[in-house]
Amino acid sequence: LAALEPGHYELEIGWLADPQAELLVSINGARTALTGARDGTATGGGCFSARTQSSEVTKRMTVRLDAPGDVIVDYLSLGRPEAKKR
């Protein structure tokens, strides 16, 4: 992914999966695990979205997605951390 200008960004990911499905995200080598659950007790699959931790992006970043089960990635979006505080 490429940023329009250097700075701190969070990666927002939207995906469709069974409940408790894990999506492993690696950004420039730093790994995060996201779980498809609502309130930790999801019983049906569905659409999920989550943001990763803020990362410094100078020009572009390498993103790798892995999932042990079936996951359909809907979108990836870069946003500034302060954008979610509105």
Check the CA dihedral 24-59-47-50 and report its sign: positive
User: Average pLDDT of 64-79?
Assistant: 89
Q: Say what the pLDDT of residue 65 is.
A: 92
Of 61 and 11, the one with more pLDDT: 11
User: Average pLDDT of 36-47?
Assistant: 61
pLDDT digits (tens, 9 = 90+) for 4-20: 888 888 889 998 888 77
